[in-house]
Copies of this chain bind each other. A is one copy, B any other.
Amino acid sequence: MRPVCVIGLGLIGGSVLRAAAASGREVLGGTLSTEDAEAAAADGFTVESTVDDALRAAAERDAIVVIAVPLPAVDEVLRRVAVLAPDCLLTDVVSVKTPVRHAVSRLAPATVYIGGHPMAGTSSSGWAASSATLFQSAAWVVTVDDGTPVDAWRTVAELALDLGAHVVPTTASEHDDAVARVSHLPHLLAAVLAAVGADGGPLALALAAGSFGDGTRVAGSSPELVRAMCEGNQAPLREALDEALGRLGAARGSLASTGSLGKTVHSGHDGRRALDGHRAAAPVPIRLDLAAPEALAGLRALGAQGGRIVRLDGDDALGEVPPEPAD
């Protein structure tokens, strides 16, 4: 198993380091955060004193380099990768994929890069919140774009599987559209709801129960991380926001004219049932041959169907797809 070098040791990077170590891999880390570095070292992990030292050590060991810093800090790390570890296989856990893909082409064009994104988190941040089990049963996107080398894809997918996740193959751009809807829009709606609720004053807060508590939970996340995530996915998020604004405006109009919220409430209920149905469905096993010429297209089709890879065995990728397209 290839060693793993994680750059950035916050909630996600720290959890990658812990989970990779727990899976038996050699791990090392580097971070600009003195607080995270000291906390990781105190927990017994090898943390190089600078990001440059970590990348040099990664190059010596032919480690997989995992970029786990917020999007605004990615460019600077890529510039150092291009100088110190250009031959290492590069992946990341950043929450948007197209901007990182473009940054790699621009700043580290000689490096083989496979985009990654584990769909896991908590509203806490930093090494102190990290856990070796954060990725258990989580979806981990490993991108499949035109020209993606299958061997490198398999190596990154194997890492995600080793860390307890299942792998969802999709393109950078399809990933960004999907997470705008199911991750970034939820953060914006939670922020708006929390602000409107708090504007109701102490009485409103005293009456807040489950629906408000659940609906605002992620508004407790670090504002800097939420901004980096949402602002980095501007065009897809604008599209999701426009759809939400359209639906909410229609609800407002209907409430004021006929008094009915039937369409809004029923389409929401249908949407939630689609999610529950997707989660409850007994998946159909599927086997893909990664040595086949159409392997990339097969992986992309699997992801588009809502499927996932659960095991790799030589050239065999063992997957699962929902029994029928979710309605």
Among the stretches A3-11, A32-40, A149-157, A304-312, the one at the interface with B is A304-312
Q: Hey, which chain B residues are within 8 Å of A22, CB to CB? A: none
A212 and B183: CB pair below 8 A?
Answer: yes
Residue A214 at the B interface, CB < 8 A?
yes
Given contacts A121-B209, A188-B264, A194-B272, 5 further A-B contacts (CB under 8 A): A185-B196, A188-B248, A194-B270, A226-B269, A245-B252
21 of the cross-chain contacts (CB-CB < 8 Å) are A168-B203, A168-B207, A175-B207, A183-B209, A186-B212, A186-B214, A187-B265, A192-B247, A194-B272, A195-B270, A195-B271, A198-B271, A202-B326, A213-B275, A219-B272, A223-B269, A226-B265, A227-B261, A230-B265, A241-B255, A245-B252
Question: With A216-B271, A231-B261, A265-B226 in contact, is A278–B206 under 8 Å at CB?
Answer: yes
Residue A43 at the B interface, CB < 8 A?
no
Once bound together, how far apart are the Cα atoms of A270 and B139, in whole Å? 30
Interface size class of A (residues with CB under 8 A): 35 or more
- In the complex, the count of this chain's copies comes to 2
B212 and A215: CB pair below 8 A?
Answer: no
Interface residues of A in 155-196 (CB under 8 A from B): 168, 170, 174-175, 177-179, 181-183, 185-196
Q: Hey, which chain B residues are within 8 Å of A266, CB to CB? A: 223
Question: Which of B219, B268, B325 sits near A190, CB closer than 8 Å?
Answer: B268
Once bound together, how far apart are the Cα atoms of A139 and B202, in whole Å? 13
A220 and B276: CB pair below 8 A?
Answer: yes
- The 4 residue pairs across chains A and B that have the minimum distance between CB atoms: A191-B268, A202-B306, A194-B271, A198-B271
B192 and A207: CB pair below 8 A?
Answer: no
**A interface, by DSSP: helix, strand, loop or mixed?**
helix
Residue A256 at the B interface, CB < 8 A?
yes
Q: Hey, which chain B residues are within 8 Å of A191, CB to CB? A: 251, 264-265, 267-269, 271
Question: Which of B199, B256, B304 sits near A203, CB closer than 8 Å?
Answer: B304
